[in-house]
Structure 1
Amino acid sequence: MKNAIDQNIIERRSIKKFKTDAVDVEEIIELLNVAKWAPNHTVNEPWRFQLYTGAGKEKFVRAFIDAMPKEDGETPQKVLNKAQYFRDIPLHLVVIMPEDPRQRRWDEDYGAISSLIQNFQLAAWERGIGMIWRSNDWIYNPIFRDAIGVAPGEKVVATLMIGYPKHVPEKRERTDIREKLTIIEE
């Protein structure tokens, strides 16, 4: 019998379709205060966040639109459709990390921030809040980065689209770990 933590890990899904119901910003702050307990070397907390909600989402959406390639000087319809999809999602959380020039520290920081994001996803899922972790090409675009205030020397690790699930995808089977595990006994 699996315990509650095991079940939460197994049952969590990436959500792409959201209800338009508002998600309380204070609840997101509470969840981030839980998630911050992720393991991180020397407890340097290598993260900062930008939360876009309400009318503030338009800054995020405009940054996305401006960063996308234009066709004949016009924004393609598929970009405008994606922008509307983003507008309809209740919250956008951008997770940003300082890029330490030392490879070991960079790796440790990225591991810590990835652990924080997973903690956040699991804690939110337990409360009925879903999200998807996006790291699409446009997060690397200087136009997008500049528009949302990401400085040189910082990495956008994720844009998390957050809301109450409208649709929860079916579980997709995973490979039994025995097929990926080498046990060295001597």
Structure 2
Amino acid sequence: MIKKPKPYQKEGIAKIIRERRTIRDLKPDPVSVDLIVDILNDAVWAPNHGLREPWRFLLFHGTGKDRFVEAVKDATSSEDREKYGNKKDDYFRNVPIHLVIIMKEDPREKQWEEDFSATSALIQNFQLLAWENDLGVVWKTNRYNKKQEFLQAVGIKDDEKIVGVLHIGYINKIPEARPRTRVEEKLTIVSQSS
């Protein structure tokens, strides 16, 4: 007997995917480190080739944020410091948690791509789980992520890469949804050979 497929439901995970937003406007209220650890323990169930689990994490909160802010400041160009003044410092100090997601750099191209993809999937898992727990996240890949001053100051090893810095806190304001292109405009269906 052939099982009839269920109609696609826009509930549960589909609803969370569509509702999640990048949140830049975060409340300064403290976020429990235990909550972040719990979310990470679920997020690491991302698919990863050979179960290599190529990731590790640095979490900055409380007065530990000072180290993060100083590392960003040291890696910021004088032009940007002049342009933004202390605005960025103040923003970073008000964000409750900064989570740096790091992957080990495999010198083999195929493995590197697999590991980068897996770590990106972990980050998406984290964002969705955070959203489910009323936390906002912005995933940043700023210029300082590649600056030696920043990498050394926060403890990134020579054989590692930052895949993203997540700024995490309770949501102050949710931005409006921005429309996505219908997949039919980008989809090619191949239904026969040659």
TM above 0.5, one fold? yes
Secondary structure at the counterpart of residue 86 of structure 2:
helix
Q: Give the corresponding residue for 1:163.
A: 169
Which amino acid in the other structure matches residue 60 of structure 1? Answer: F
Q: CA deviation at 1:75?
A: 4.3
Whether 1:49 aligns to 2:57 is yes
Whether 1:180 aligns to 2:186 is yes
Structure 2 unaligned regions, length at least 5: 1-8
Give the count of matched residue pairs.
Answer: 184
Give the alignment's Cα RMSD to 1 decimal. Answer: 1.2
Distance 1:6 1:75, change over 3 A: closer
Q: Give the corresponding residue for 2:5.
A: none
Structure 1 unaligned regions, length at least 5: none
Alignment of 1:128-143 (within 5 A): 128-143=134-149
Q: CA deviation at 1:110?
A: 0.4
Please say which structure displays the higher CA radius of gyration.
2
Moved segments of 4+, more than 3 Å: none
Q: 2-side partners of 1:135 and 1:141: how far apart? A: 12
* TM-score, normalised via structure 1 length: 0.96
Q: 2-side partners of 1:154 and 1:90: how far apart? A: 25
Q: 2-side partners of 1:106 and 1:28: how far apart? A: 26
Q: 2-side partners of 1:105 and 1:113: how far apart? A: 12
Match of 1:144 among 128, 141, 150: 150
Match of 2:82 among 57, 76, 80: 76
Percent sequence identity over aligned pairs: 47
Q: Give the corresponding residue for 1:61.
A: 69
Deviations 1:130-183 (A, max 9, x none): 100000111100011111011112101000000001111100000000101000
Secondary structure at the counterpart of residue 58 of structure 1:
helix
Q: CA deviation at 1:77?
A: 5.5
* TM-score, normalised via structure 2 length: 0.92
